[in-house]
Structure 1
Amino acid sequence: MQRSSRLGVLFMLLLFIGGCASTRLEERRVSFVDGSLKGDMLLTDFVSVVNSSGLMEVQVTGRNKTSRYRLLEYRVEWFEGSGLQVPSVMTRWTTCPAFEKANFSFSAVAPKPGVSDFRILIRKAKK
């Protein structure tokens, strides 16, 4: 095997191992908007699909890295292909528990077919 081929294989192996070791997921459409949560909460998994009824579904999984229970709120904003926000009574802050040193998850379904994008905001629950 040539030296350059071995280096290429080694580089790819290191990228794969590094990717497996990381639990932080970057998704531009999902964000923690409360600065006090930075570093305490991680986004670990994200899935977006269009179901058989033509409705977009999203599922978010995160991790509470702290030793404290946190009550979170999330808000999903849906958008049409043109970029306009879809008005919906479902666009509201919804609570989600985040138990200490544990994963948390939530899911949402678009209010109508034809929705092509979304934004999810996550914050500490207001008391």
Structure 2
Amino acid sequence: MKPHIRLGYAFAMLLVVAGMSACSHRTGGIMASTGGITRVDNSSVGSDVSISELKTRLIGGMMQGIATITSLDSTDLSLQYQFTWFDGSGFVIEGDSSSWTPLTLYGKQQVQVQAMAPANGAVSFEIYVREVFSQ
């Protein structure tokens, strides 16, 4: 292969890789569970947001989960959160039924969020919060 063709091929591959990385999303965030477990998958989100005061209650035989999400930053944050519900054996209840819910937190704001379990039998939940990045 001629050197100028190899150089052109290498440049084209570089553009493809750069284009693919521009489309990638950073989806890591933070998680808290009613079992007392907290996990930080993205240290930037972990330094900007906290999750606290996880509570449950029964309403008409269905479990409701409540959590407080707090901005630790003075700027506005575009976030999403998702509840995942577990039965008494630790299995996920209807894992695909919970969608991501958008949330904007203004500087140092705290918001209580809530969700209902998708079915009877829920005994605990996890809440996951991630930041939304515009492209």
Interval containing the TM-score (normalised by the shorter chain): 0.5 to 0.7
Task: Quote the residue 2:131 is aligned against.
Answer: 124
2:118 pairs with 1:111 = yes
Is contact 1:46-1:61 (8 Å) kept?
Answer: yes
Structure 2 counterpart of 1:40, from 43, 48, 53: 48
Is contact 1:64-1:102 (8 Å) kept?
Answer: yes
Gaps of 5+ in 1: 1-24
Task: Quote the residue 2:88 is aligned against.
Answer: 81
Larger Rg: 2
Deviation at 1:26, TM superposition (A): 8.9
Q: CA–CA distance in 2 between the matches of 1:121 and 1:93?
A: 9
Deviation at 1:46, TM superposition (A): 2.4
Report Cα offsets for 1:94-120 as digits up to 9, x if no partner: 111111121122110001111112111
Task: Quote the residue 1:49 is aligned against.
Answer: 57
Deviation at 1:69, TM superposition (A): 0.4
Gaps of 5+ in 2: 1-31
* Greater per-residue strand proportion: 2
**Counterpart of 1:34 in structure 2: which amino acid?**
N
Percentage of matched positions with identical amino acids: 23
Q: How does 1:63-102 map to 2 (within 5 A)?
A: 63-87=70-94, 89-102=96-109
Structure 2 counterpart of 1:58, from 58, 65, 69: 65
Aligned length, in residue pairs: 102
Over aligned residues, Cα RMSD in angstroms? 2.4
